Every structure is written in structure tokens, then in C-alpha cells.
Chains A and B, each alone.
Chain A
Amino acid sequence: DIQMTQSPSSLSASVGDRVTITCRASQSISSNLNWYQQKPGKAPKLLMYVASSLQSGVPSRFSGSGSGTDFTLTISSLQPEDFATYYCQQSYSNPLTFGQGTRLEIK
């Protein structure tokens, strides 16, 4: 199985901050990496696919980059609605696997 490791596990930031979350794969996954946002009690929401493509309807302050084993999700200017848990997920090979999550909290 491909292991996905996110860092940090939790992060405190303020509205307006620029935030970056990192995801590392245990082997190369090309660009087969997706990002999700999950709010308490809700299903995850797809933000980015194939590393850097913005899902329809997702604000442009979200961006993704990377290939191979190292990927990042960046939020350029945090908004109040962005405080949530973020997950990366590899689509390179089955079993499909997720990172452990990064909890983004208000400072």
C-alpha cells in the first residue's frame, strides 16, 4: 500500500494568513494526488485533483502543486470558512489511501 503522510497534523492560523499543508507519498505517484476539505459532521469535499487542478466551484485562493512524492496545498488568504480538516489522497494505485489529515484551527 502507498502510505500518505501529511504535515503538520495541526496548524493554528489567522484570517488572512497564507497557509501551506504538505503531503508526502511513500513512493512516486506521479500527479495522482487529490485534496479534500472536511468540516465537522460533514462529508469531505473535493478541492483539488491531479495535484493542481481546481475542482469546479472551489475558490481560487486554493492551489495545489507537486509531483512524484511531495505535494502541497496552499490557501493564499485564509477565510473564516476555511477552518477545517484537510486530507490528501492518492489515486495512483489501489488500495486508494488518504493522509491522516491536517486540522486547521483559528489562532
Chain B
Amino acid sequence: QVQLQESGPGLVKPSETLSLTCTVSGGSTISYYWTWIRQPPGKGLEWIGYIYDSGSTDYNPSLKSRVIMSMDTSKNQFSLKLLSVTDADTAVYYCARLTVTYSGFDYWGQGALVTVSS
């Protein structure tokens, strides 16, 4: 059974960098799009972007200038960095797996609440 688990600081100061890591267990990282999605408190879902096992990435244009994703296949981990955060970046951040046929996000992490506050 594939499992995903987010980890990282729950509190980040404004203008600093949000960093999260997702660890994948129970399955390979090969041939999937490894995705970050966020959900501000009480609001809907926003796709941040994804990284493929080759290292290629695609980001939401609304966040592209501030997002960096990376992957360590030897550790079955992928990571998100969001630069220069503001209050608007406060959200639950989910990692998820997207099939190469784009047939939905079939596995999700439990989510990590990140609060931006001084």
C-alpha cells in the first residue's frame, strides 16, 4: 500500500522560505508525477505543481516565480520550497501522486499545516 507523508516546519516567518518534504513508502517513485497541492483554511484546493521522476517539473503560473521542487529517488522523497512567503501562503499542504495518464491524484499525504506568521 502506497503511503505519503509530509514533513517540515509548521511555522514560517513572512518573507522566509517554506520547505516541505514528502516521503513515499510502499511503492516506487518511478513513472508518476509527484505533486504538491495546498488548501487555505476553509477554502478550496490549489495545484502548486509537480515533479516527474526524471526531474522535470511543471508549476502553477500563479506561483511559478516562487516555487522550487526537487526529488531524491534514492530516498523516495520529493520536496517543495516556496520562497518569500506571506500570510496568503498559510495553508494545509498536501503531497499527492498523479498517474502519467492524468487519471487523478490517487494517493495523498495526510497534509501539513503551515502557518506564516511573525
Contact = CB atoms under 8 A, between A and B. Distances in A.
A44 interface: yes
B25 interface: no
B31 to A, nearest CB: 16
Interface residues of A, number: 25
Q: In which size bucket is the chain B interface?
A: 10 to 19
A98 B105 contact: no
A50 B47 contact: no
Contacts of B106: 46, 49, 55
A65 interface: no
Nearest to B94: A43
Interface in A12-39: 32, 34, 36
Contacts of B65: none
A91 B45 contact: no
- The SS class assigned to the B binding surface is loop
A34 B109 CA distance: 18
Interface in B9-63: 44-47, 58, 60-62
Interface in A43-57: 43-46, 48-50, 53, 55
B74 interface: no
A46 B104 contact: yes
Contacts of B118: none
Interface of A: 1, 32, 34, 36, 42-46, 48-50, 53, 55, 87, 89, 91, 94-101
